[in-house]
Amino acid sequence: MSSTVTFEQYRELLAEIDSRYSRARDGYDFDFKSEIEPFLDNNKQLAYHLESIKTDERLTPIVRQTMSDELMELLMSCHIPRFSLKLYYEKFKYINMWINHANVEGLL
């Protein structure tokens, strides 16, 4: 992955996570080898990249680490239909809020 990650890449990833979670909740059974593993392999670098984006007084190193951890959890749990809807939306909103903040502040 290039060292430059764009806001649009995160927007696309969040849209894909949301789509996969909706499909899982609707009963779709993802195959680990052909669907989940490649998805994780292709996108985990975006989660890790959050740890190295520029910082400001609000987007501290602790927040960046939490964002990365939360995104990694969503990458995995969006395939699990029994994953709590409330917890999913809390994590999704948290990441979305900070990604938007980083974009507005020119940190991404």
Domains of the chain in start order, with CATH, are: 7-104 (1.20.120.440)
Q: Which two tokens stand for residue 41?
A: 């392999």
Spatial CB neighbours of 58, under 8 Å, sequence gap ≥ 6: 101
Q: Would you write out the chain's pLDDT as a tens digit for each of its 108 residues? A: 445 899 999 999 999 999 999 999 999 999 999 999 999 999 999 999 999 999 899 999 999 999 999 999 999 999 999 999 999 999 999 999 999 999 999 998
pTM of the model: 0.92
